[in-house]
């Protein structure tokens, strides 16, 4: 199988996974939450392991403390996935709101350029998404992470396919 065909297959599988996530956003949300939990747990363990491989104690304490915090967060997400879903959804909404406000404010530095409207629209969309999540919170928690995962998978798949055809043309 050539590299081009492999990228197309990966892209198609990613799009199919995204469609499945859209078909059952709660299952996709739960999956995303569990992946986050396991990721924090493993990252915390690896950080502590890496801290003991470094020389000196300068930053080691902070890395160990961060590793412990990641392990704690991972365990909390894995022990109570529904609370984790609500917490992660709240974090996503806050992230969208802060990022949106930042983009809107930053867009005014680009007045008179093509980037102005793009940044302004992107920021307004982020703020609107945050308002929609907060407006339906906590019930939005059951599906929003799964929908975001689905969008990412579909976007990733389309990008993979597009890149595979672009590479073939060059």
Confidence bin at 1 (pLDDT 50/70/90): low
Question: Cα separation of 21 and 131, whole Å?
Answer: 23
Question: Cα separation of 10 and 153, whole Å?
Answer: 11
Mean pLDDT, rounded, of the chain: 88
Q: Angle at which helices 81-107 and 60-79 pack, to 10 degrees?
A: 120
Confidence bin at 71 (pLDDT 50/70/90): very high
Helices and strands of the chain, counted as H and E runs = 6, 0
Kindly report, residue by residue over 72-123, the tens digit of the pLDDT.
999 999 999 999 999 988 998 999 999 999 999 999 998 988 888 888 998 8
Question: Cα separation of 8 and 13, whole Å?
Answer: 9
Which pLDDT score, from 0 to 100, does residue 167 have?
53
Cis peptide before 138 (omega within 30 of 0): yes
Between residues 168 and 46, the one the model is more confident about:
46
Q: What average pLDDT does the segment 52-67 reach?
A: 79
What percent of the chain shows pLDDT beyond 90?
Answer: 42
Confidence bin at 69 (pLDDT 50/70/90): very high
Which pLDDT score, from 0 to 100, does residue 47 have?
92
């Amino acid at each position: 199988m050539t590299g081009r065909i492999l990228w197309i297959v990966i892209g198609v599988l990613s799009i199919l996974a995204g469609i499945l996530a859209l078909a059952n956003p709660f299952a996709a949300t739960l999956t995303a939450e569990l992946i986050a939990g396991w990721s924090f747990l493993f990252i915390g363990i690896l950080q502590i392991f890496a801290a003991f491989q470094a020389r000196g104690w300068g930053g080691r304490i902070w890395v160990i403390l961060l590793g412990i915090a990641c392990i704690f967060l991972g365990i909390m997400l894995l022990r109570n996935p529904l609370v984790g879903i609500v917490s992660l959804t709240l974090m996503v909404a806050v992230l969208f709101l802060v990022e949106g406000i930042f983009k809107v404010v930053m867009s005014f530095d680009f007045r008179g350029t093509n980037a102005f409207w793009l940044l302004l629209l992107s920021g307004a969309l982020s703020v609107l998404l945050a308002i929609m999540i907060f407006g339906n919170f906590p019930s939005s928690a059951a599906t929003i992470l799964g929908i975001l995962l689905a969008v990412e998978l579909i976007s990733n798949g389309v990008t993979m396919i597009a890149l595979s055809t672009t590479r073939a043309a060059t």
